[in-house]
Structure 1
Amino acid sequence: MSTLTLEKAGLSRANVIAATTIGTALEFYDFTIYSFFAIQIGQLFFPAASPVNQFLLSIAVFGVGFVVRPLGGIVIGAYADRVGRKKAMVLTIMLMALSCAMIAGVPPYASIGMAAPLIVLSARIIQGFAAGGEFGPGTTLLVEYADDNSRAFFASWNFAASALGLVLGALVATLVHTSLGKAQVLAWGWRLPFVLGILAAPAGMLIRRRLEETLGARRDGQAHPHGALKAALGTHLKVTLLCTVAELGGSVSVYIAAFFLHSYAVRTLHMSPMAGTVSGVVTALVLFISAPLAGVLADRFSRKRVLVVARVMMLLGVYPAFALLARHPSLTMLCAVSGVLALFVSAQIVPVLVMIPEQFPRHVRATGIALSYVVSASFFGGFSPFIASWLVARTGNPLSPAWYVAAACAVSLLPLIWLKDRTGQSIA
């Protein structure tokens, strides 16, 4: 068997999953927290701008994190393939703690002038770099810890952790806003969630130190290769491109269902902001619960079978879901539509998430995930809310985002013809 057994590592399944996914949960916790306090950050660090521009500048700084995520994925992915998954994961969680500390402790513009927004910008760059680098080594280590019949279940927890981070972020932000007055939130309350992010990181590092390295030595006895990126873009270029397109449908689907749909309900369907927040929490909870179930199904019935069924269901069901919500814009309907789409999302993403590392040899695996999953999620997924909003404005049709999702799902079915299904098979 090519994977490291849990008995050899001396850890329970729960310990391995928790140690590996805590960084991913922290990443999405930070993602949610920043967005909930974008108004306060804009007021404190961009005071010379108008209220609208304060918010836009704050969001722009937030968006910088998305721009550097692919770079972080590639650099840290290659690092994980060269020196080990464990060292890469410790590095990313240290960088996340650093970024949280920078945002939590930075004085406002009134105290240090232009240095304040520059520090926030630097923190977001570090955070985005670390977030991009977290997913590849984390997923790779989970896959390599699992046995041949549980790889999808193990890998699914890295995606579930992202949903858990969204839930925790929303709950902490809600607690801060309901427990403190507006003046207190603006003065110091907005910093508290970032302090929690600092405290979570050392705990994650202590847990991760118990993990055993899964990279191993090369079979020919040579040192670990330094050309993982070159190999992924050379010898394995075809597989890298196929995996990137295969992930496209899942990336577009998750960003539309988990992020765009709730703001769409508020802006386009004129529902209350509270309805959007509640439905967002519901979506994240469904993703968290359904991801491991999708992993179990992918281990039992094969990756391709689960993926094709879920992708076709999303392709056929997304337009009726949008139409139903547009006709009956209520909180109940929004939560129902969000929940159903979230099920389709999990059943799409989890099989792809485990198929990608199964396509690459061990010493190119983390880099392969970065170049396909992380890049696809950052570019195709990250720009999906913008494209969907543009389609609504351009066409005047509030249902046009559904066609965009359906098209992405249709295109991403094609690579499955060539990608190998290695359900239950040993991987090198």
Structure 2
Amino acid sequence: MAVTALARPTVSKAQIITATTLGTALEFYDFTVYSYFAITIGKLFFPAETPVNQMLLSIGVFGVGFVVRPLGGVIIGAYADRAGRKKAMVLTILLMALGCALISFVPPFAVIGVAAPVIVLLARLVQGFAAGGEFGPGTTLLIECAGDRDRAFFASWNFAAQALGLALGASAATLLSWALPKEALDTWGWRIPFAVGILAAPAGMLIRRRLEETLDARTARASAKSGAVRAVLTTHIALTILGTFAELGGSVSVYVTAFFLPSYATRELGLSAATGVSSGVVGAIALFVSAPLMGLAADRFTRKRVLVTCRVAMLVLVYPAFLWLTRQPTPFALYAVSAGLAVLVSGQIVPVLVMLPEIFPKAVRATGIALTYVVSASIFGGFSPFIATWLVAETGDKLAPALYVAAACLLSLVPIRWLTDHTGQRLA
């Protein structure tokens, strides 16, 4: 057993937050960059009879990353409960950098043939696996390093890092589109953001190696003996199910507002592509700013009070927001809706993000938070843009996505009743 006794922290709170959230930011940075260059990647690596088929193949390979995220969450989460949070986090950032490197340097199909799409597929599998395993250990270490009265604030930064990654990825793709001629961008320029992602790994490893381990040897032995995954799926199965559905409203809300809304504005409302992209950046910035503020509120006013308030507000306001946007499809309306709903998204996700690891025992904490969050984000969240698009196409109602978000929020209010609020209490 490689876990040692706990030592007194030698790094500042800011360094702990930076080291822990860097991998999460890199995950969403890569996610965003790939989505922006999906058409270019399809042309270079996925030969097909039509451009549509190329795009579908590229998006399909992108989606594979979501499929393996729960697997990465379970395996790496269990590893974090057995061998230590820090070791798990060093592993995930190495795997993310490997995925970025593979995509950055793989030659196109015209040069190496079928090996090209195979390598891109492998890169997405590695990235998805690492992304799934990043969140549980990272959030666990954050709350275990925090004090009794600032745990929600600490945990909030892992969600803020997602927003930061989205904003940086969108900004990088947009700047390259402006700075380079289309031919250069399609030939080699699209590789630059992925190469930049590789550089985050050495910095992240150096900072993460300085962190103190929060898993003690006795807890690690207990986790290894009982089996963290088995315990989460048997002894703590009720909490796992409740936690997954408590996450549902936030997962659906963030994927519809952050990922679906920009393309919806372009496709359904007739706004320009540049306006749609800009709204994604506005929403990401609003998420980044509001997440730590919601963390502070959850520490002061209790987790449940902030969570229920923001979830009910989203339930009530999402339809009027979409209605206003469809009747006045202007850039200002789109930016206002993106930013306003982003604040309510933060108020839903941050409280749950700290409540669940506070409830799970230490020996299964990383596995428990990984399983509940990753499954909810991958299944409920990951399919939300597809479901929202399908609803509009099938019903012809442009407001159908708002009703879908409201229904998810209503359903996910139910399990909150049975979740215990540990605001201000000592972490077990």
In structure 2, do the counterparts of structure 1 residues 48 and 418 end up closer, same or farther at CA, with 3 Å as the change threshold? closer
| Residue 271 (structure 1) shift | 1.1
Q: State whether structure 2 residue 62 is matched by structure 1 residue 66.
A: no
**Which amino acid is the alignment partner of residue 136 of structure 1?**
G
The residue identity in structure 2 corresponding to 1:45 is F
- CA gap 1:81/1:147 in 2 versus in 1, 3 angstroms: same
- Counterparts of 1:153 and 1:323, CA distance in 2: 34
Q: Who is 1:264 aligned against? A: 264
The residue number in structure 1 matching 2:85 is: 85
Structure 2 residue aligned with 1:329: 329
The separation in 1 between residues aligned to 2:234 and 2:42, in whole angstroms, is: 44
User: Residues 219 and 62 of structure 1: is their aligned pair in 2 closer, same or farther, counting only changes over 3 Å?
Assistant: closer
Aligned to 2:423: 423
Structure 2 counterpart of 1:393, one-letter code? A
> 2:269 is aligned with what amino acid?
L
Q: Which amino acid counterpart does residue 300 of structure 1 have in structure 2?
A: R
Shift of 1:131: 0.4
| 1:314 alignment partner AA | M
**2:394 matched to which residue of 1?**
394
Taking structure 1 as reference, are residues 268 and 425 closer, same or farther at Cα in structure 2, changes over 3 Å only? same
Q: Residue in 1 aligned with 2:97?
A: 97
**Is 225-234 or 275-284 further displaced after alignment?**
225-234
What is the alpha-carbon distance in structure 2 between the residues aligned to residue 268 and residue 96 of structure 1?
35
Cα separation, partners in 2 of 1:393 and 1:202, compared to 1, 3 Å: same
Q: Do 2:84 and 2:220's aligned partners in 1 also have CA atoms closer than 8 Å?
A: no
Q: TM-score, normalised by structure 1?
A: 0.97
Q: Equivalences for 1:217-236 in 2 at 5 Å?
A: 217-218=217-218, 224-225=224-225, 227-236=227-236
Tell me the distance in 1 between the aligned counterparts of 2:296 and 2:124.
Answer: 35
Q: Cα gap change, 1:79/1:272 in structure 2, threshold over 3 Å: closer, same or farther? A: same
Q: Deviations over 1:97-140 (max 9, x none)?
A: 10011001101101110000000000000000000100000000
The alignment yields a C-alpha RMSD, in angstroms, of 1.4
Q: Residue 84 of structure 1 aligns to which amino acid in structure 2? A: G
Q: Which amino acid aligns with 2:193?
A: P
* Paired-residue identity, %: 68
Aligned counterparts of 2:353 and 2:391: Cα–Cα separation in 1: 29
Instruction: Report SS of the residue matched to 1:11.
Output: coil
What residue is the counterpart of 1:282 in the other structure?
282
- Is 1:175 aligned to residue 175 of structure 2? yes
Structure 1 unaligned segments of length 5 or more: list them: 1-5
Report 1:104-119 matches (<5 A): 104-119=104-119
- Contact 2:223–2:363 (8 Å) recurs in 1: no
Deviation track 1:11-39 (CA, whole Å, cap 9, x = no partner) reads: 11110000000000000000011111111
Shift, 1:221, TM fit = 7.3
Report how many residues are paired.
423
Residues 83, 110 of structure 1: alpha-carbon distance in 2 compared, 3 angstrom cutoff: same
Match in the other structure for 2:3: none
SS of the equivalent of 2:190 reads helix
Instruction: List, as ranges, runs of 4+ consecutive aligned residues in structure 1 with deviation greater than 6 Å.
Output: none
Residues 330-368 of structure 1 deviation map (CA, whole Å, 9 limit, x = unaligned): 000000011100000001000000011011010100110
In the TM superposition, what is the alpha-carbon distance from 1:8 to its structure 2 partner? 2.1
Q: How does 1:22-61 map to 2 (within 5 A)?
A: 22-61=22-61
* Alpha-carbon offset, residue 220 of structure 1: 10
After TM superposition, give the deviation of residue 7 of structure 1 in Å: 9.5
**Residues 257 and 221 (structure 1), Cα distance of their counterparts in 2 relative to 1, 3 Å cut:** closer
